[in-house]
Amino acid sequence: MAAIALREYPPQRGIVRIRNIDKALKEYNKKHKKQATIEDVEACIFSGKVFSYSYWDRTIVNYDELEAELEEYMKTVKKDGRHPAGIER
């Protein structure tokens, strides 16, 4: 096995939660007090800090990264109107 896997891999922290945008938005809004919109989610995806993959008409995202970015986004944008990554709305 050492010949095949030459690199040491970090221990797994857990399974990454992959969701499509609609499910991620519903899950976020169910869990948090401040409600996010689809525009908020898209702004976080376009920041480049959230993994996303588009296939035909579906886009899947890493929910853990999206949740962290949305929390930061809701603190800054909803308060002072700017995105931490400098993305204009």
- pLDDT tens per residue, range 11-43: 666 777 899 999 999 999 999 888 899 999 999
pLDDT, residue 15, reads: 74
| pLDDT over 60 at 46, yes or no | yes
pLDDT, residue 80, reads: 58
pLDDT, residue 9, reads: 55
pLDDT, residue 1, reads: 45
Phi, psi of 84 (to 5 degrees): -60, -25
Largest alpha-carbon pair distance within the chain? 53
Return mean pLDDT, the chain: 81
Indicate the domain borders of the chain: 18-80
Q: How many CA atoms lie within 13 A of 15 on its CB side?
A: 3
